[in-house]
């Protein structure tokens, strides 16, 4: 059935936003739809020109980057080479030197303040500008268009609180989202066996075309529906998982319960839409909007395709508060492979999640948190869990027991952890709830100390 509101948003609200507010998302989307089919060389040249312009702007007009003025000749000749001469920018540095990162002639009243939810460590505060935000939105709509989801289509968001809004603001925000963007919300905090029937009735009534949310929240929604044997009475076009690593077990369960494709969006509040999954299953970078580099975890030198390392992002549109080589805190690898879908946008593979998802064993090996997830899946005694590496030799294991709990399974889980981590201390804590982070995400694993120690 046609969604009237979707049509109104596409044909009236969006064009009106363009006229009244100078919103350029639709225009940017058209250009991104074209450049995705550029030849590799054309795409490379587009990036090169944008990077050159940005770096020249930075060394001339952004105080933090003025010491790199000596790079001007190199920037003109080989902007990619010049880029690697710039230092890595950490989240702590952004917080500490925020004023120095702002363009000297920026109209501060037009900057858009933003911050990360701080699901680990301290939140980062920064500014973006309209082009950055709108190009990022356009990249999201381009990715969704690959799945036949378009601007204005009704969306169910499974989310934490949108921002740190008070109640009244929250209400207005919800109304605005509802009517201007055709979005309805479910809070990740309110998903439980009691609320799920009410929510599934609401979904069947409202018939959103797609769901959008954190992987862990969507997975929880699917698990609750499976447990209560609830099926939706209509077919979803897709379910978009974002902001967290989407694990295979989550994808399988969500696909099984909703019988529709799960679409992986790789985005971060402090980097925008980085990559989008295409129907061939590859994650395509938003190459027109940003340069993505992968660096060795220890040496911080660029690694080759296929090699896993730290994700570093340079947004090519943000002239107001540029962040060159911003260390996102994620771990991933680039791929040389072409995609059958015909888009020349580079492919990113193995997004392994956050840097602090990686544990370090007693003998110094890196162990990815997904390992503990995969292990836990073998034990039906565990309904939900969280593994926290407190120090090199201390692990806290939080477990929510399932209905058919058996103590011996937990012991064999611990034995398996010992095998890979060495003879560390493992403290088991049984609990009824594993709290999501302030932003509504559920972390399955995290390391709480720096890896260099």
Strand partners, 295: 302, 310
Q: How far is the CB of 293 from Zn ion (least distance, A)?
A: 21
**CB of 117 or CB of 238, closer to Zn ion:** 238
361 to each of 251, 269, 368, 386, how far by Cα in Å?
Answer: 28, 31, 10, 17
Q: Report which of 203, 209, 207 is spatially closest to residue 153, judged by C-alpha positions.
A: 209
Q: How far is the CB of 343 from Zn ion (least distance, A)?
A: 5
**CB of 203 or CB of 285, closer to Zn ion:** 285
**CB of 240 or CB of 370, closer to Zn ion:** 240
CA atoms lying within 13 Å on the CB side of residue 399: 26
Q: Is 128 within 8 Å of 112 (Cβ atoms)?
A: yes
382-391: strand order across its sheet: 425-430, 394-401, 382-391, 445-447
Q: How far is the CB of 291 from Zn ion (least distance, A)?
A: 20
**CB of 91 or CB of 282, closer to Zn ion:** 282
Contact residues: Zn ion, CB under 5 A = 278, 280, 282, 339, 341
**CB of 139 or CB of 395, closer to Zn ion:** 139
Q: Is 368 within 8 Å of 426 (Cβ atoms)?
A: no
Taking residue 25's Cβ as centre, other Cβ atoms within 10 Å add up to 21
Q: How far is the CB of 281 from Zn ion (least distance, A)?
A: 8
| Structure tokens that stand for 133 in this block | 């935000």
**CB of 112 or CB of 280, closer to Zn ion:** 280
Q: How far is the CB of 436 from Zn ion (least distance, A)?
A: 32
Residues 6+ apart with CB under 8 A from 269: 114, 115, 116, 117, 243
Q: How far is the CB of 146 from Zn ion (least distance, A)?
A: 8
Rg, C-alpha atoms of the chain: 23
């Amino acid at each position: 059935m046609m969604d009237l509101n979707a049509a109104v948003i596409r044909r009236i609200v969006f064009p009106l936003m363009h006229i009244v507010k100078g919103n350029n998302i639709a225009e940017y989307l058209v250009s991104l739809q074209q450049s995705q089919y550029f030849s590799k060389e054309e795409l490379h040249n587009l990036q090169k020109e944008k990077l050159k312009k940005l770096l020249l702007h930075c060394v001339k007009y952004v105080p933090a980057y003025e010491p790199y003025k000596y790079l001007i000749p190199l920037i003109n000749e080989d902007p990619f080479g010049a880029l690697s001469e710039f230092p890595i920018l950490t989240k702590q540095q952004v917080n500490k030197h925020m004023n120095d990162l702002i363009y000297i002639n920026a109209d501060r009243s037009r900057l858009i303040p933003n911050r990360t939810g701080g699901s680990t460590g301290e939140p980062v505060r920064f500014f973006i500008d309209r082009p950055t935000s709108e190009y990022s939105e356009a990249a999201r709509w381009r990715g969704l268009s690959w799945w036949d989801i378009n601007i204005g289509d009704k969306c169910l968001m499974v989310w934490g609180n949108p921002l740190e809004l008070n109640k009244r603001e929250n209400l207005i925000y919800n109304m605005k989202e509802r009517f201007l963007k055709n979005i309805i919300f479910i809070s990740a905090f309110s998903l439980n066996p009691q609320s799920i029937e009410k929510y599934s009735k609401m979904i069947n009534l409202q018939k959103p075309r797609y769901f959008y949310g954190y992987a862990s929240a969507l997975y929880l929604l699917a698990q609750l529906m499976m447990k209560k044997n609830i099926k939706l009475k209509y077919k979803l076009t897709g379910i978009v998982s974002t902001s967290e690593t989407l694990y295979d077990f989550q994808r399988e369960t969500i696909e099984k319960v909703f019988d529709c494709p799960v679409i992986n969006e790789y985005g971060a509040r402090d980097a925008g839409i980085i990559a989008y999954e295409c129907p061939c299953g590859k994650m395509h970078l938003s190459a027109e909007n940003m340069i993505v580099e992968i660096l060795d975890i220890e040496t911080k030198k660029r690694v080759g395709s296929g090699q896993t390392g730290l994700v570093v992002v340079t947004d090519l549109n943000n002239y107001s508060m540029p962040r060159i080589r911003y260390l996102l805190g994620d771990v991933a690898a680039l791929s040389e492979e072409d995609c059958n879908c015909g888009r020349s946008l580079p492919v990113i593979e193995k997004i392994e999640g956050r840097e602090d998802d990686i544990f370090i064993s007693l003998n110094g090996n890196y162990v990815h948190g997904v390992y503990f997830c995969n292990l836990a899946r073998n034990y039906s005694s565990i309904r939900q869990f969280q593994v926290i590496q407190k120090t090199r030799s201390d692990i806290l294991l939080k477990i929510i027991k399932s209905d058919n709990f058996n103590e011996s399974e937990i012991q064999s889980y611990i034995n398996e952890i010992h095998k890979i981590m060495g003879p560390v201390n493992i403290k088991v804590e049984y609990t009824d709830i594993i709290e999501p982070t302030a932003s509504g995400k559920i972390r399955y694993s995290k390391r709480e100390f720096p890896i260099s120690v």
